[in-house]
């Protein structure tokens, strides 16, 4: 699937698109675009696609606290060819995200004897600018070969995926349902394996309210910290739901705060949890897990404890029954949960999620090239289905 052609010897020759692929990937990774500051990379993509005869559209989103003045945020929509139908209805949507997590890490490539083993690093080199570059080149290759018609496919590159998924939700509310895609190909690092789905997700904040007092007289106060800790231990030890495909629901206790001094009984405490939900399905999984946690809080101290959650959903099913692909289950969230519609979902892309978001985020040239071939195969499969 790597798209490499062998000579009579054993040295593979590069695919004809290698230079274009690496140049596009370098440009994307070199432009800083942490969530909220996607303006420059969005403008680059608009210009890049327009220069290749795509019709582009910018779908605006509100600024965040870190968005520079005048630097608009927007999703990039693109259709192959000039002057598309006023109401285009492509069968396949090809999408990924152009925002990255902080901090910006400069682009770097080991270009000594540039070849498939050369290593490319930098923020977004994997998550998810590798998918963006490979998707664009894959569609270009199919169009040039006449294997896909211009009206068959649409590109969508969204902002805000790394935080709330606001870019995809904006697209979903404003455009997607009317187009009625047959299939959507989501680009994320899956090691060039086809994901059968991923766990659901929710971010939950638990608050505890106590009564302040002197630590020497604990019976006269009520420790919010103590109440919260007792509840959290029970949440961490509880069975919050599981499934054969996705395993167990897991909890990451990301933030704990409470108290003002060691000799003061704390009257306020809080914790923030990230839930990876394996129970139920996309519609029911979050309610199952939330209900179990709420029961724990009620049983621990109903008056002192409360919880609020955002962006909750259960496990996401994707189609992984395509010849020529290995399959995988991933634990991270994607924009597949944020796009409404009755469409087949495919989740695929180059790179390993275990290096994404880290200081050593990197992949090899061969990974990018394999992804181009994988996306070509997926696009053709989706159009035949």
* Catalytically active residues, by annotation: 161
CA-wise closest residue to 48 among 27, 34, 29: 27
5 CB-near residues (< 8 Å, 6+ apart) = 12, 13, 15
What are residue 369's phi and psi, to 5 degrees? -65, -40
Rounded CA gap, 55 and 77, in Å?
8
Query: By C-alpha distance, which of 252, 251, 264 is closest to 224?
Result: 264
Count of CA atoms in the C-beta half-sphere (13 A) of 189: 22
Cα torsion through 360, 366, 372, 378, rounded to 10: -90
* Distance in angstroms (rounded) separating the CA atoms of residues 25 and 136: 10
Q: Are strands 153-158 and 92-97 parallel, antiparallel or unpaired?
A: parallel
Q: Residue 30: exposed, middle, or buried by beta-carbon count in 10 A (0-12, 13-18, 19+)? A: middle
Please choose, from the candidates 380, 366, 233, the residue with its C-alpha nearest in 3D space to the C-alpha of residue 300: 233
Separation of alpha carbons 213 and 266, rounded Å: 8
Question: For residue 310, which of 341, 331, 333, 279 has the smallest C-alpha distance?
Answer: 333
Sign of CA dihedral 322, 328, 329, 334: negative
Secondary structure (DSSP) of 162-230:
TTT-HHHHHHHHHTHHHH--SEEEEE--STT-EEEEE-EEEEEEEEEE-B-EETT-GGGSB-HHHHHHH
Distance CA(252)–CA(295), nearest Å, equals 19
Yes or no: say if 94 and 382 are a contact pair by the CB < 8 Å rule: no
Short-list 316, 321, 315, CA closest to 382: 321
């Amino acid at each position: 699937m790597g798209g490499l052609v062998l000579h009579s010897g054993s040295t593979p020759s590069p695919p004809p698109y290698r230079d274009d692929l690496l140049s596009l990937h370098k440009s994307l990774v070199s432009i800083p675009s942490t969530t909220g500051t996607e303006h420059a990379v969005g403008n680059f993509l608009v210009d890049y696609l327009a220069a290749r005869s795509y019709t582009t559209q910018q779908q605006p989103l509100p600024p965040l606290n870190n968005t520079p003045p005048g630097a608009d945020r927007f999703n990039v929509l693109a259709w192959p060819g000039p002057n598309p139908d006023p109401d285009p209805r492509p069968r396949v949507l090809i999408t990924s995200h152009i925002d990255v997590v902080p901090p910006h890490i400069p682009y770097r490539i080991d270009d000594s004897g540039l070849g498939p083993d050369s290593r490319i690093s930098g923020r977004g080199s994997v998550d998810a600018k590798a998918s963006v570059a490979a998707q664009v080149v894959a569609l270009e290759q199919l169009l040039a070969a006449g294997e896909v018609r211009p009206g068959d496919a649409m590109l969508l590159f969204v902002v805000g995926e790394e935080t709330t998924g606001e870019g995809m939700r904006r697209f979903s509310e404003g455009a997607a349902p009317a187009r009625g895609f047959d299939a959507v190909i989501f680009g994320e690092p899956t090691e060039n394996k086809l994901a059968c789905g991923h766990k659901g997700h929710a971010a939950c904040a638990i608050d505890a309210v106590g009564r302040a007092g002197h630590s020497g007289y604990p019976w006269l106060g009520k420790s919010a910290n103590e109440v919260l800790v007792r509840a959290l231990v029970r949440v961490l030890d509880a069975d919050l739901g599981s499934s054969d495909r996705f395993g167990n629901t897991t909890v990451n206790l990301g933030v704990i705060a409470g108290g003002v001094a060691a000799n003061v009984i704390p009257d306020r405490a809080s914790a923030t949890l990230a839930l990876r939900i394996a129970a139920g399905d996309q519609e029911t999984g979050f309610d199952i897990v939330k209900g179990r946690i709420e029961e724990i809080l009620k049983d621990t101290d109903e008056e002192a404890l409360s919880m609020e959650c955002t962006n909750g959903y259960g496990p996401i099913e994707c189609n992984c029954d395509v010849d020529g692909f290995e399959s995988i289950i991933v634990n991270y969230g994607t924009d597949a949960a944020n796009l409404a519609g009755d469409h087949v979902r495919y989740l695929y892309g180059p790179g390993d999620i275990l290096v994404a978001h880290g200081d050593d985020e990197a992949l090899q040239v061969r990974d990018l090239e394999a992804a181009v071939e994988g996306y070509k195969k997926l696009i053709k499969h989706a159009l035949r289905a």
